[in-house]
Every structure is written in C-alpha cells, then in structure tokens.
Amino acid sequence: MIAVNYTFRTISENIDGTVITISPEAVIRDLAIDSRVISDPVASIFFAIKGRRDGHDYISDAYNYGVRSFVVEQQEIVKKFPDANFIIVNNTLTALHELVAKHRSNFDLKVIGITGSNGKTIVKEWLYQLLAIDHTIVRSPKSYNSQIGVPLSVWQINKENDLGIFEAGISSINEMRHLEEIIKPTIGVLTNLTDVHAQGFASKDQKLEEKLSLFSNVSLFIYSPDYITSSKISIPGKVKFTWSTKQTADLQVFAIEPIEGKSYLRATYRDEEIECLIPFSDKAAIENGIICWATLLATGYSPEEADKRLEKLLRVGMRLELKNGINNCSVIDDSYSADISSLAIALDFLNQQNQHVNKTVILSDIYQTGKTSAALYEEVALLLHQKNIGNLIGIGPDISANSKQFTMHALFFESTESFIRDFPGLHFNNESILVKGSRKFEFERISKLLTQKIHDTILEIDLTALAANLNFYKSRLQPKVKIMAMVKAFSYGSGSFEIANLLQFHKVDY
C-alpha cells in the first residue's frame, strides 16, 4: 500500500476552515482518528472527530506520540500546541469527507461499490479473491464501511490501482450521499435487504432508497429483483444485471444441490444452462456466491472462467482472534489472509496489546498484489519498521528470497512444514505474536502450536458491551467525578490486559 504524499498546505486547500500553519510543507501521508494506532506520526494528520468519544480529548496523546498536524473544531486547543499545524472547522467529520472526496477525484479507476443489509464484507473479500489475478485492487480493510471507515478506506487509493472495491453501510437517512461522493462507484452491487438496522428509517422503502443512492451514478448495477419489490423505487444504473432464485432474471438460478459440503448451482444465462460449484453449503454463503457469480458474468467473464474461479473461493476470517499462548505469550490469530491493508490493521491491533514488550510477526508470502516481489517486500519491511516490530518470522519462498529487505531480527523458512519441524527450538516466551498468513500456508497449524488450552469452560467478554455500559454510567455523572473500575477476578482468567487497555482508553481514572 503505497501512500500518496500531500503537504499540509495542499490538505488545507481542500478543507473549508481556518488554517494556522507552522510548517506548510510538512508531508502528510496518513489520516489518523485514533490516537492508539498512529503508525507514522510525523506524516499523519489527526482528525478530532466527535462520536461516542470526543477526539479532542485525545489530541494530547496524538501530540505526545509525534503528530504535528490537526483538524479540530475547538479553537482554544490551538494555544496549547504552538508548534503544530491546525485547521479549525465547523465539523471534523465533514472535513474528513471533503478531503477524501477530493483525493478520490484525483484517480480514474473502476470502483465497485457494495451495500446491503448483510454480506457486504464477504462479497467484497470474495470479489477481491476472484479479481485480484487481473487487477491491482484497493479495497476496504475488514468491515470499514461507516462514515469514518469509508474515507479511511478510499484514502488508500494510489496511482498503481486500477480497481477499487469498497463497502458502505448506513444507519440513518442522508448518510449514503456522503459516502457516494467519497467512493464514486462505477459499478454497484446490492447484496440483499432485510429488517436489520431498520431503526433509523421510516419504512423499508425509505431504507432501500437510501441504500440505492450509493449507485446514483454507476454505469452497471447488479442486484436481485427479489429484494426490490416496490414499483415506486427507481432502479439506478445505465446497465442493469439481475440475479434471482425465484423469478426470471439475467442469471436465474433454478437448482442448488449440496455435494459433500459444497453447492452445485445450475442457472439460465443468455438462454443457455450454465453451472458452477461453490465450496460452501450454508444459505448465506450460497447467496453471497451467487452475487459474486452474477458480478463476474456482468463484467464480462465467461461462464467457464467464472466457474473455475468460484470453485477456489476461500472462507473469510471476519475478525482477529486474541488467544492465550504458550510460555506466557499472547497470540493474535489472523491465519486465513495476508495482504498489505489487512496486515496494517493487524499490526495496529498487535501494538494495542501492551502486556508484552516483545512483538513478533509470523508472516507468509503475500500474493496477487500486482507489484514486483522486491517492491512488495520493501513495502512490508517499511510497514513493520513503522509499527516497531522487533522480530519477524517469514514463511514462504518469496519472502525468504527478499530477506535482506528486513532490518529487524528475522528468521525465514521455505514452508510451513519446515517451520513446524524447527518449532521446538524456537523458544517463544513472554511476547505478543501475530500469526498472519495466506490460506494456502495453513497457518492454523502454527496457531495451534502457539496457543494453549487453559479453560474447559469458555466465557467470552464483549468489550463493545463493556464500553457501552461504561459510557452509560459516565453520562449519569457530573463532569469532574472520577471513576474507579475493578476488574473482576482478572477478567475471569484471561483478557485482563485487554480490558485494562479498554478502560485506559476510555479515560477511567483508577
């Protein structure tokens, strides 16, 4: 992921606000909204966004970390940091949208925009798997589909990309038009429409119209008429491609046959019977697979080529898993995918684990980037350096061949098998370990070696719910009342550091 360099002067010219400049030629590459995950502070601009937490409360943290460029709403803050650049605006979220929309307009590339009630992230990741062999793709990391996640995703676009795949999610009226201005999709994909997230809308039709506004300027729109039943709804797209399992459509699926955990699909397309095999059998995966099938056909792939690619789809890991490891280690298991964007997110998550000083990354070869091997691993090495990673274990012939790119302590293995063979002599101890690998390397075998089973009974702690409860009680207190939190029985055996990190971030006093 090669970032585009701007200067603070250029950034300020694209945001409507009052500019206070100390270093107008300061280079800006990264956008920051979370003071905990700033990888390159000198080249970052921090947006103090007001959400469930007020970003203005974390300006000092970002400043102490090295950030010297800020976008804020509160003018009085400027006096506290006389050697920093500031843009003072009415709304920092709007300013973020303005800047990234301008950035997007600098690039002429095809962009697939995806929205719907469910399946957005899976469809995005599967389309990436299906199309990466033909394109240099930029895509939303994980489930970055919100009013903040979308601009952070689109900011990744650079001159090397010829295809973008971005997902967009909304929770209320008038949100999607802002995301459309940022994504500017040329191809639209609607996954489905259910009653999920319906609270912010007066009716199902209103929610559908709001979602469809993402596609107001697309040249191709791919959807199922099963989800657009009202005659009052205007269908976007200069060209429309439909799919259905219930009615006549461009891709009309008339048979779904389970075969040993897979699904054999038969359909009518251009008055001919075609088929494909999807390596999943659950209902949601079948629908997501059909959407990808329709997208391949609608964008010009032959039925034979589509079938060949769909059969190779891999399951998508939806979240990073933090596990207790052997010898007092913590293990972050992300063993099903490896690419630059998700690597950056995983490294940020690794750096949030403060229970160990030593950080180790176990990384496989990265495929389908469109870059030369030398350029790719130069970028990976720079990212690991920026994230202050002390130890690297590279697995695969490509990363091993580029071993000289990495300046930290590093070991390299040609295969997962060779790593497992030498595992007893590696002595992992008292460190945080990120396991990040392409699916073909079967890194789940490595994760199993590194993790230990401690509890026969597993109690999961929902950190999001914990934060929501904390913020509720804070809202009932006077501003100057301090808060003391007691972590019950070391978080029931594990996770004490994670809960402590969360409480610290939410400004608990004791």
Q: Does 277 share its domain with 129? A: yes
Q: What is the pLDDT of residues 153-168, one digit of tens each?
A: 999 999 999 999 999 9
CA distance 56 to 46: 10
pLDDT at 335: 78
Q: What token pair was written down for 96?
A: 């973020």
Q: How many other C-beta atoms are found inside a 10 Å radius of the C-beta of residue 456? A: 5
State phi, psi for 377 to the nearest 5 degrees: -80, -20
Q: How much of the chain exceeds pLDDT 70, in percent? A: 90
Q: Are residues 69 and 125 in the same domain?
A: no
Residue-wise pLDDT for 73-99, tens only, equals 999 999 999 999 999 999 999 999 999
Instruction: Say yes or no: 264 and 171 in one domain.
Output: yes
For residue 453, the model assigns a pLDDT of: 59
In a domain, 149, yes or no: yes
pLDDT in tens, 204-224: 889 999 999 999 999 999 999
In a domain, 102, yes or no: no
Taking the C-alpha atoms of residue 228 and residue 405, their distance in angstroms, rounded to an integer, is 52
Higher-pLDDT residue of 430, 507: 430
Together in a domain, 264 and 379: no
Residues 331 and 422 in one domain: yes
What was the pLDDT predicted at 439? Answer: 79
On whether residue 1 sits in a domain, the answer given is no
Domain with residue 175: its CATH number is 3.40.1190.10
Q: 42 and 134: one domain?
A: no
Q: What is the mean pLDDT of residues 191-213?
A: 84
Residue 126 and residue 259 in one domain: yes
Domain edge (last residue) among 76, 96, 116: 96
Average pLDDT, integer, range 249-276: 97
Residue 136 lies in a domain: yes
What's 451's DSSP letter? B
Identify the band that residue 171 occupies on the pLDDT scale cut at 50, 70 and 90. Answer: confident
335-385: per-residue pLDDT in tens? Answer: 777 788 788 888 988 888 878 999 999 999 998 677 789 999 999 999 999
Domain boundary among 310, 341, 373: 310
- 167 with 143: CB under 8 angstroms? yes
pLDDT of the residue at 430: 94
Average pLDDT of the residues of the chain: 90
Residue 169 shares a structural domain with residue 277? yes
pLDDT at 497: 57
Residue 316 lies in a domain: no
- Measured CA to CA, the distance from residue 111 to residue 124 in angstroms comes to 12
Mean per-residue pLDDT, 50-78: 95
pLDDT exceeds cutoff 50 at 489: no
Query: Is 170 a member of any domain?
Result: yes
pLDDT band of residue 140 (cuts 50, 70, 90) is very high
Across 52-66, average pLDDT: 95
Domain closes at, from 310, 340, 371: 310
Query: What is the percent of the chain with per-residue pLDDT over 90, rounded to a whole number?
Result: 71
Q: Judge if 157 and 291 occupy the same domain.
A: yes
Name the pTM for this structure.
Answer: 0.79
198 & 241 share domain: yes
Task: Please count the structural domains in the chain.
Answer: 4
Average pLDDT of the segment spanning 325-343: 85
Residues 6+ apart with CB under 8 A from 135: 162, 163, 370
Q: Domain check: are 280 and 429 in the same one?
A: no
165 and 146 in one domain? yes
- Asked whether residue 305 is assigned to any structural domain, the reply reads yes
Say which CATH number the domain at 64 has. Answer: 3.40.1390.10
What residues make up the domain containing 469? Answer: 463-505
Whole-angstrom distance, CA of residue 270 vs CA of residue 292: 17
